Chain A
Amino acid sequence: MSGRVIVITSGKGGVGKTTTNANIGTALAKAGKKVVMIDTDLGLRNLDLLLGLENRIVYTIVDVVEERCKLKQALVKDKKNPNLCLLAAAQTRDKSAVTEEQLKDICEKLKKDFDFILVDCPAGIEQGFQNAVAGASEAIVVTTPEMSAVRDADRIIGLLESKEEIKSYKLLLNRVRPNLIKSNDMMSVDDVVEILSADLIGIIPEDTGIITSTNKGEPIVNDEKSLAGKAYNNVARRIIGEDVPFLDLEEPKGVMAKLKKFFSGLTGKEK
């Protein structure tokens, strides 16, 4: 087996890297793939929380590189899905505790046993980013339709393009708010894609369910009803190679909206 190593990165913090990581990882595992997630955000680990695994962590990635345990011992299995594992970051150390070479080495070893190695990258473009990217051959750039996030994504894309090991990168547009786009108060998906001129792998709507899912330590892809969960599931299917159309987020909701749509159809007016 030779797994694919995908780094999930963004430049800016708070755009949903870790949430994306947890959900794509869970969705891939649900699709029957063997998945390991590596949290490289040393000192600021969070992926364990989103997965609800915070109490199960015995060894971290730093213990692995400092040879206090074997790599396999440090892999924490998911509560529900045995296909899913986490290699947690150390909370008490800083970014210098692991080097690019060491991460590359860990990824190489994990490739043999897993279909997918998802690397959760810290915010910023410093050493933490360099480390996270070191072992990866693919990247997902997470951004939101906000100026600062798009600008940072552009910078990250520039850096990724300069890395020989990164063979491809895709854009994931997170926290999209169709209502704001409709009222021209938020850049549309097309605007962002055009500005960054990158291929899109997913459009995730803003969803309050994300907050409750984080509270519970339960990725939102496990919630069949959630639109964001559905969107993340679709991203996972696209990663596997399926051709999945993007969700229509503009679909009006509620009786009034439907009536409006009905009437506008009758009169032939585009509103």
Chain B
Amino acid sequence: MILANLYNKVLGFFRQTEPEVTESSKDTARNRLRVVLMQDRTNLTPELMERMRKELVELLSKYVEMDKDALELNLEQDGDQVALMLSIPVIRAKDEEEIKEALSKEDSAEDDSDNNEEDKEDEEVESTKEDESEENTDDIENSEPNNEKEDLENHTEDTESSSNEKSESENTTKKKKSSSDETDK
């Protein structure tokens, strides 16, 4: 024990160690690279990500009350797959009335208010696979189409995707959409 202590001190003296509180430059490089490669591989620029985030907030607010600023939307690498991770801190569930009200604001033709609760719970698992993708799009949400989303789709063209919806927990809704490792074809 004493020996080990002494050894550390002596070694520390020679190495002139500085406490490693800060992130090493290698970690910085790795993290920056990860982010930039996600963007390269998906054609999703930071602007588009922000837009997607906003649209998701808009959409999901119809169903749950959440902390809008704390919503996190990130691209992550999962093996050789690129995953879209969505983390939403839910403040409280909206009651039926509120949801109805929110939905009635929409000029949706088929507003099936009875099934809204269910829609929310098992939001469809959608997977699209197209090898020769031309205008293959990610459907993040399947409920209400909105005009802005179509614009977004045009930008996220040729992202071969399969999406699946994870369960909704009490506090957090996690939505994971994997899109296969995709670069310009």
Residues of A in contact with B (beta carbons under 8 Å apart):
146-147, 150-151, 154-155, 157-159, 161-162, 181, 184-188, 191, 195, 197, 260, 263, 267, 269, 271
Alpha-carbon gap, A162 to B3, bound state (A)? 59
Most buried by A among B3, B8, B33, B34: B33
User: Pick the contact of A150 from B33, B181, B185 — CB < 8 Å?
Assistant: B33
Tally inter-chain residue pairs, CB-CB below 8 A.
Answer: 60
Q: How many Å lie between the Cα of A90 and that of B16 in the bound state?
A: 54
Q: A158-B184, A161-B183 are in contact. Are A191 and B26 (CB under 8 A)?
A: yes
B4 (CB) vs chain A CBs: closest residue: A267
Q: How far is the CA of A154 from the CA of B80 in the complex (A)?
A: 12
- Write out the residue numbers on chain B whose beta carbons fall within 8 Å of the beta carbon of A181: 26
Q: Which of B126-185 contact A (CB under 8 A)?
A: 181-185
Establish whether residues B33 and A151, one from each chain, have CB atoms under 8 Å apart when the complex forms. Answer: yes
Bound CA–CA A155/B36 (angstroms): 12
Is A269's CB under 8 angstroms from B8's CB?
yes
CB-nearest residue of chain B relative to A268?
B4
In the assembly, what is the distance between CA of A187 and CA of B184, in Å?
26
Contacts of A267 in B (CB 8 A): 3-4, 7
Q: Would you call the interface of chain A mostly helix, strand, loop, or mixed?
A: helix
Cross-chain contact A195 with B26 (CB below 8 angstroms) = no
Residue of A nearest to B6 (CB): A267
Judge whether B7 and A155 touch: CB under 8 Å.
no
User: Known: A155-B40, A197-B80. Contact between A147 and B183, CB under 8 A?
Assistant: no
Q: Is the beta-carbon distance between B7 and A263 smaller than 8 angstroms?
A: yes
Q: Which of A154, A186, A269 has a CB less than 8 Å from the CB of B4?
A: A269
Q: Are B30 and A187 in contact (CB under 8 A)?
A: yes
Other contacts beyond A159-B184, A195-B37, A263-B7: 19, CB < 8 A: A146-B29, A151-B36, A151-B37, A151-B40, A157-B183, A158-B41, A158-B183, A158-B184, A161-B183, A162-B185, A184-B27, A187-B29, A188-B26, A191-B30, A195-B30, A195-B33, A195-B77, A267-B4, A269-B7
Check A154–B37 contact: CB distance below 8 A: yes
10 closest Cβ contacts across the A-B interface?
A158-B183, A184-B24, A197-B80, A162-B185, A184-B26, A147-B33, A185-B25, A147-B29, A267-B7, A267-B4
Shortest Cβ distance from A270 into chain B, in angstroms? 12
Residues of B within 8 A of A271 (CB): 11
Instruction: Name the B residues within 8 Å of A187 (CB-CB).
Output: 26, 29-30, 33
Asked if residues A197 and B41 are in contact (CB atoms below 8 Å), the reply is no
Task: Give the residues in chain A near B32, CB-CB below 8 Å.
Answer: 147
In this complex, what residue of A is CB-closest to B32? A147
Of B3, B11, B25, B80, which is within 8 A of A184 by CB? B25
Contact A155 B29 (CB under 8 A): no
Chain B hits for A147, CB < 8 A: 29, 32-33, 36
B19 within 8 A of A: no
Of B3, B7, B26, B183, the residue contacting A186 (CB under 8 A) is B26
Q: State whether A154 and B25 are in contact (beta carbons under 8 Å apart), knowing that A159-B184, A267-B3 are contacts in the complex.
A: no
How long is the Cα–Cα vector from A188 to B24 in the complex, in angstroms?
12
- How far is it, in angstroms, between the C-alpha of A271 and the C-alpha of B11 when the chains are bound? 9
